[in-house]
Amino acid sequence: MGPLLGHGQAAAGAPRRRELARAGLAGGAALALWGGWRLAAAPAARAEDRDELFALVAVEQALALAYAIARSRPGLDAGTRRLLGVLHDHERRHAEALGGLVRASQGTLPPEPRRLSDVDHYLPGLGAARGAREILAFAVGLEAVGLAAQAQALGRLTDGRAIQTVASITAAEGQHLVALRLARGREPLPEALETGTYSPRRSAPGIP
């Protein structure tokens, strides 16, 4: 499926999107609905769901670390840095919500990632990214990993509360993709279905 906007519409809207991105409003507007996002206290996850949730916690932790590293890079404009900060906060909250499900069922959590190599485990390239353009392009790929991991897990989870939580996070990852595309001056909705890109080989090591 091609872009939803015609060439003339896309060209006419590009300067405005770039203006919004520079002002830090493109991401903020797209994410405004999630600004007050909250989840209730997590009940225990079913034993058969623990491995899936463990892996998803690791993915969200890696995304949060990637945004923490990215927003600390020199030379970023204020709007890009603000957007990366919002996305970092969201990914931390995703990891906390998923981790609550695991802890409530007496499961163990993956170790907190600390190094760039922990991000490279899922998607290499952040270390070489320089400037807003390259960092935002990397972030689009990283969000595609997160979205696909969540979507794939939905087909395997059995507990209703776990499914509800992961479905909410999947929707948020889709919003992240839209915000990042707007910040890059790209078509925000290029496809009717967002599937992302995630390989089982990138699943978290050390799943109990």
Please report the DSSP string for 19-48 in residue order: HHHHHTHHHHHHHGGGTT---PPP-PPPGG
- CATH number, domain of 123, equals 1.20.1260.10
Domain annotation covers residue 208: no
- Residue 206 confidence (pLDDT): 36
- Residue 199 confidence (pLDDT): 53
Provide the residue range defining the domain that includes 197: 7-202
Measure the CA angle with vertex 171, ends 109 and 120; round to 5°: 50
Domain annotation covers residue 47: yes
Per-residue pLDDT of 144-173, as tens digits, reads 999 999 999 999 999 999 999 999 999 999
Cβ–Cβ < 8 Å for 150, 173: yes
Per-residue pLDDT of 101-123, as tens digits, reads 999 888 999 999 999 999 999 99
Per-residue pLDDT of 42-87, as tens digits, reads 555 677 799 999 999 999 999 999 999 999 999 999 999 999 999 9
Domain annotation covers residue 2: no
Domain annotation covers residue 32: yes
Domain annotation covers residue 1: no
Look at the alpha carbons of 3, 5, 10, 16 in this order and tell me if their dihedral is positive or negative: negative
- Residue 46 confidence (pLDDT): 74
30, 25, 142, 36: CA torsion to nearest 10: -50
**pTM recorded for the entire structure:** 0.75
Q: How many domains does the chain have?
A: 1
Domain annotation covers residue 157: yes
